[in-house]
Amino acid sequence: MRKKVTIYEVAKKAEVAISTVSRVLNGSDNVSKSTKEKVQNTIKELNFRPQVNARKLASKEPQMLAIAVPSFTTPYFNEVLKGVKDEIKKMDLDIIMYNTGSKNPEEGVQNFFDRGTADAVILLSIDVSESVHELIQATQTPAVLVNSSHPAYNYFMLNDYRGGYLAGEHLVNQGFERLGMITSIVESKTSMERIRGFKDALKNYKMTIDSELFMSGDTTKHGGFTEEAGFEAIYKYEKLGKFPDAIFCSNDTQAVGAIYALSKLGMKVPDDIAIMGYDNLKLSKYLELTTIDQKMYTIGVQATKRLAEIILDPEDELCQTTIDPVLVKRGSTENKKA
């Protein structure tokens, strides 16, 4: 089967910008006659079949909403998707989910748009580079971003710095002095902001920051936000020969692995070491895990509502929101030695 021709290929062969091809497809007058003919001839030569987003939106037909996400198996993403799916039931929208892959999500997004199957999209934890921005604009696809930001789009950004700060502040207020953190081995904006917030809290409270107590596992799956990574980090502390009094894990999933590793070493939480996580996944309640709630389900609902609004009114004023997380105190950070 012949590979579907993309708008990129048309623009390249016609030696014009993607936006120029888009203007020709949409019947804009803002294109010279010669350029318009060149683009139309290239479209015919390549047998390019453009997306029908604009026609569907104008006719108010039932829409196909797509969720582009780096992974379906991460609990954090699943919580957001629950909110999206529950809200979508109230609307005249069908839904598809597209896994861009966590290694190169930008390439995955480009492949997604080339398929031309969706009329609107929510991009979850995917940064909008200039090439992705140009593609969204060229295809005129209504888009809402979750956990990334761009001045041209509606977005719901998570305040990871604030969450890291709340974690550090809580552990200090609990009376712990030697504080550590399990980080992710793969650097990302999310992980770096949580680290920065945590360290700033320690600095503001005049606490010693021991770089040796900032540990990551070796597992790179899901960027190092896994049970395996938390488990591995605890054994690195054991090999180091010193443990923190309290450990802030970059997410709840890491915390699960960390708690299991400590139990294998004969250590109890919080009697020997306090543990806290991040995300407030459902399981954290049953582990008595202190954590940071990002309101992920609510964000999924809000993002879907906003997308429905801009489908109806593409010229509506942008909604660009930063969501502040909240601390959820439970038994895993009780200071038994105080």
Measure the CA–CA gap between 332 and 120, rounded to whole angstroms: 42
Question: 308 Cβ partners below 8 Å, 6+ apart?
Answer: 91, 93
pLDDT at residue 49 above 70?
A: no
Q: For residue 103, what pLDDT band results from cuts at 50, 70 and 90?
A: low
The residue ranges of every structural domain in the chain are 1-50, 160-294+327-333
Measure the CA–CA gap between 61 and 52, rounded to whole angstroms: 11
Give the rounded percent of residues in the chain with a pLDDT score beyond 70: 88
Q: Which of 17-26, 132-141, 198-207 has the highest mean pLDDT?
A: 198-207
Q: What does the block give as tokens for 134? A: 């140009």
The reported pLDDT for the residue numbered 250 is 96
Question: 139 Cβ partners below 8 Å, 6+ apart?
Answer: 7, 22, 51, 53, 113, 116
Q: For residue 8, what pLDDT band results from cuts at 50, 70 and 90?
A: confident
Which candidate, 60, 93, 51, places its Cα nearest to that of 303?
93
Measure the CA–CA gap between 34 and 337, rounded to whole angstroms: 80
Rounded to two decimals, the pTM is: 0.77
Contact status, residue 275 vs residue 289, Cβ threshold 8 Å = yes
Beta pairing, strands 179-183 & 214-216: parallel
User: Which amino acid makes up residue 268?
Assistant: K
Measure the CA–CA gap between 228 and 219, rounded to whole angstroms: 7
Mean pLDDT of the chain: 86
pLDDT at residue 14 above 60?
A: yes
One fold for 1-50 and 160-294+327-333:
no
pLDDT at residue 200 above 50?
A: yes
Quick one: CATH architecture of 160-294+327-333? Answer: 3-Layer(aba) Sandwich (3.40)
Q: What does the block give as tokens for 79? A: 């919580």
Q: What is the DSSP string of 97-125?
A: EEE--SS-HHHHHHHHHHHT--SEEEEES
Phi-psi region of 143 (alpha: psi -120 to 50; beta: other; left: phi over 0): beta
CATH class assigned to 1-50: mainly alpha
* Distance (Å) of CA 245 to CA 44, 73, 179, 274, 295: 68, 31, 6, 6, 28
Q: For residue 58, what pLDDT band results from cuts at 50, 70 and 90?
A: very low
Q: What does the block give as tokens for 30? A: 């803002």
